[in-house]
Amino acid sequence: MTEVKPLIACPLCQSNKTKNFYKESTREYSLCLNCDFVFVPRIYHLSESEEKARYDTHNNDPEDVRYRQFLSQLLDPLLERISNNSSGLDFGSGPGPTLSLMLEECGHKVDLYDKFYARNDSVFEKKYDFITATEVLEHLSDPMLELNRLVGLLKNNAYLAVMTQLLTPQIDFSNWYYKNDPSHISFFSKKTFNYLANYFGIEVFYISERVVFFKK
């Protein structure tokens, strides 16, 4: 008798309408038919110590011109949309916070939060003019929990600016470099972000295939 695997609920929308999407030697990927979210089932997730060990190898140097140029993909369009002297949160700031420094150089005040490097829970008691999350969403094991929390921290007309590589129909998933990082477990398409915008009752703007803004 063929073994029937139990349905895995989508960690984003909680729908049971999921199916196997792709399988490789080290892990599997599932697709939600309701919100188009592609995710790695929890059984394949790194432990927290393994995850942190991987992040410890990241060389996010604030003096690195190329890294600053990379972050400018999000920074420049954000600066066009926020007022002078705005207050923001850099969520998932990582081992070498750089975007926050770039924003501060432009006159804005930025708090930091990172579960490994800047665990400051007081940020969740504030409201912000903008929140940034660069190369963060793909690492989230419970993305709806975190996104719900972040949207709740936004003032009216505030922005949540995220950077993550969109999964588009043109991508050959089997050869997609972005899935090869073992800490990347959550993959979003435009359909997924449209679902989230509708769920939260906010606007979504596609700046590029890597940068997406939400406006409350």
pLDDT at residue 3 greater than cutoff 60: no
pLDDT of residue 6: 54
Mean pLDDT of the chain: 94
How high is the pLDDT of residue 108? 98
Provide the pLDDT for residue 8.
87
pLDDT digits (tens, 9 = 90+) for 148-158: 999 999 999 99
Of 91, 172, 84, 166, the residue nearest 124 (C-alpha): 91
| 182 has a pLDDT exceeding 90 | yes
23-37: average pLDDT: 96
- What is the pLDDT at residue 20? 95
Whole-angstrom CA distances from 36 to 13, 33, 46 are: 10, 5, 23
Is residue 4 predicted with pLDDT exceeding 70? Answer: no
Backbone angles phi, psi at 80, to 5 degrees: -70, -15
pLDDT in tens, 35-70: 999 999 999 999 999 998 988 887 777 778 899 999
Task: Write the DSSP symbol of residue 4.
Answer: P
Which residues make Cβ contacts (< 8 Å) with residue 193, sequence separation at least 6? 204, 206, 212, 214
| Residues 6 or more apart in contact with residue 1 via CB below 8 angstroms | none
pTM: 0.93
pLDDT digits (tens, 9 = 90+) for 70-92: 999 999 999 999 999 999 999 99
> Could you write out the DSSP letters of every residue in 24-62?
-SS-EEEEETTT--EE--GGGPPPHHHHHHHHTT----T
Task: Write the burial class of residue 91 (CB in 10 Å: 0-12 exposed, 13-18 middle, 19+ buried).
Answer: buried
The domain spans of the chain are 18-215
Q: Note the pLDDT of residue 60.
A: 75
Whether domain 18-215 has CATH 3.40.50.150: the reply is yes
